[in-house]
Amino acid sequence: MTDLPRRALTRGARLAALPIGYAGRTAVGLGKRVGGASAEAVALEVQQRTAEQIFKTLGELKGGAMKFGQAMSIAEVALPEELLGPYRATLTKLQDAAPPMPAETVHRQLADALGEDWRDRFAEFSDKPAAAASIGQVHRAMWHDGREVAVKIQYPGAGKALMSDLNQVSRMARMFASMSPGLDIKPLIAELKERAAEELDYLVESGYQRQFAAAYEGDDDFVVPHVLAAAPTVVVSEWLEGYSLAKVIAEGTQEERDYYGTLYLRFLMSGPTRAKLLHADPHPGNYRVLTDGRLGVLDFGAVARLPEGPPAAMGSLLRLAMTGDADAVVEGLRAEGFIKPDIEVDTEQFFNALMPFAEPALSEEFHFSRDWMRGHFNRLNDPRNPDFTVGFKINLPPNYMLIHRTWLGGIGVLSQMDATVPMRAELERWLPTFAG
């Protein structure tokens, strides 16, 4: 793989080229229409080729562009699977190939954040990173009082590169909007930039982690490590010994899948009520199976603030969906901003297309599986299916961006786990408006 572009001029040029490529493909599409191809076939071809270039370029640029591309997964219900395949592959390669910071860079970052005497805070410190992420890496160490700790250190220049990329991609809102006319992309980009700025500030992240740790202190099911020290580019917290939830997905017994699937669901749903926060990065790598059977939770960079608890509409709309009241559901979706005022929908078609996603709430226990999830998404992503057009009419209000990301991501993880969970009981426990 070629070196990742790092200079601002190079990164900007790569991003700026995307709209030009889109315009060229649009012109080719017009030519094909004149030649006799249907508008729908041309539109699909233009979308596919455009998305392939967009996602590949954003992925190669990493930084803020990659984060924007990740956030664009919110529109998956409106895009065929083949559009996202090349992008996902690129992201995987980038993550696997991320080079670690040299030891001298790590030491300089620690000195800048914690002071020149930073070594006095640690009894031991390993220069070899234990884990890597898009904007930083984690080192294992021993605190001065003997506790094992995780030291998360941000890459130098990560903030500047990320915000520069986001400023560039924000200029392409019109192009993304053309791919999904029901989606109001500009406020989503503004929300993304604000959340990205928070993720860059480890002091903000440490505040969220402290809030979660206090809310779940002494819990029978969960462990949130306490923060011991923090700065804008470094955070030190207790080390959690255990293995990733990804191992349960790969080789867990059915009993383990059901048990940890239930705990995973419970943590995602209980955060807005217990901590008034939603942990908005549902990746299985952020969860650790501990030796005592509890589930440890890591990485609080992506968090949605919900001071009033979960949105009342979430439970009430789900309950209405269960009664089959299509008019009330569509009206409620409009009121919450999921359907823009100028978008006309067939109420029954819209309701019937989305209703299967409320299916887990219909049963006391629900079995999530890859086949179940793939079936519904293929249905919405198949241009030959009448439900395909529904995806293009869905909007995502900015205040639901992280909730939506977490909900879809969580369903995806549960489906990978092949877990059977007490869905109805968890909904009634954590969504008061669902219980009625």
Looking at every residue in the chain, the average pLDDT score rounds to 79
Taking only the tens place, the pLDDT of each residue in 129-141 is: 998 766 789 999 9
How far, in Å, CA of 233 to CA of 431, rounded? 36
How far, in Å, CA of 139 to CA of 94, rounded? 20
How far, in Å, CA of 260 to CA of 236, rounded? 27
pLDDT at 241: 95
How far, in Å, CA of 397 to CA of 435, rounded? 24
pLDDT at 20: 36
Token pair belonging to 113: 């954040």
Angle between helices 158-169 and 8-34 (to 10 degrees): 20
Give the residues of the chain that fall short of pLDDT 70: 1-99, 133-134, 165-183, 436
Cβ contact 159:203 at 8 Å? no
Cβ contact 252:260 at 8 Å? yes
Query: What are the DSSP calls for 119-143, one per residue?
Result: GGGEEEEEEEEEEE-SSEEEEEEEE
Dihedral angle, C-alpha 269, 275, 279, 285, nearest 10 °: -90
How far, in Å, CA of 208 to CA of 229, rounded? 13
**Which of 71, 18, 69, 24 shows the shortest CA–CA distance to 46?**
24
pLDDT at 160: 75
Domain definitions of the chain by residue range: 8-96+159-185, 242-436
pLDDT at 381: 72
The residues with which 223 forms a beta bridge, in sequence order, are: 296
Cβ contact 128:136 at 8 Å? no
pLDDT at 52: 54
